[in-house]
Structure 1
């Protein structure tokens, strides 16, 4: 199922192939492609570059889980950014601010 994420073709980002570390942990990486093959000094769109740096990778991942893998997400998504064991910012957003439509499949139903 997560393999579908790495097979998706987007101009501004990509996901690596998933790597299973244990029966409960799978990792994959986000790759920024907003200015691939270009340099900002050569006229690459700075807005695309900044947007990809600022946009939380987590939200992109959740969007792809709902849209590509058809997974059903929680109606409220909470996020916390921490540094040196201190919370820098915490916030919660309604799902519709991140992705529409929500998926239908429950993760624990897919794994079995």
Structure 2
């Protein structure tokens, strides 16, 4: 299955459709952009996994979620600067044959994540 993500907007109680997400490899030197996607109506990458099993390597990665832009697009009045602008999650992949699912539950004021299934 590779690497996937799913974002739920806990302020509105729905998937974060339209949120931009960037995936970076962070293992050596400067972070390297691998992929940038905009989440579909279900809050997921419309093309399936961010990286398929054969594309995923052991190492460290970063997902960057464009939280403030998403909430502004939903007409949420945010302070300037917003409390959360971008949420960056750094994580490691030890077994590239396993499925790594990185969900994000987010509001303009808080977020939570975990390794999903």
- TM-score higher than 0.5 here? no
Bigger share in strand: 2
Bigger share in helix: 1
Give the structure-2-normalised TM-score. Answer: 0.30
- Rg: which structure is higher? 1
Give the structure-1-normalised TM-score. Answer: 0.31
